[in-house]
Amino acid sequence: MKKYLSDEDCDKLLDVDKSNKEQRITALMIDQGITYQEAKKIVEDTDSLLS
């Protein structure tokens, strides 16, 4: 049986702590529908550009 997230749950998930890398990766995965590895690369690339 598939469990779906309510709109409220999704809003909570998108309320991300920007300094928390894992939360940013998870939010990207949910938002973009991509894999962990793809999201991790995007987050790391973004961090390296900003540093």
**What is the token pair recorded at 3?**
């469990």
The Cα–Cα gap between 21 and 39 comes to 10
Phi-psi domain of 38 (left: phi exceeds 0; alpha: psi -120 through 50; beta: other): alpha
**What is the token pair recorded at 48?**
């390296």
What was the pLDDT predicted at 1? 45
Q: How far is CA 44 from CA 17, 21, 39, in A?
A: 16, 9, 9
User: So where are the chain's domains?
Assistant: 7-50
| pLDDT one-digit tens code per residue, 1-50 | 455 556 666 666 666 677 788 888 888 898 899 999 999 999 999 888 88
Q: How far is CA 14 from CA 25, 48, 49, 51, in A?
A: 11, 22, 23, 24
What was the pLDDT predicted at 37? 95
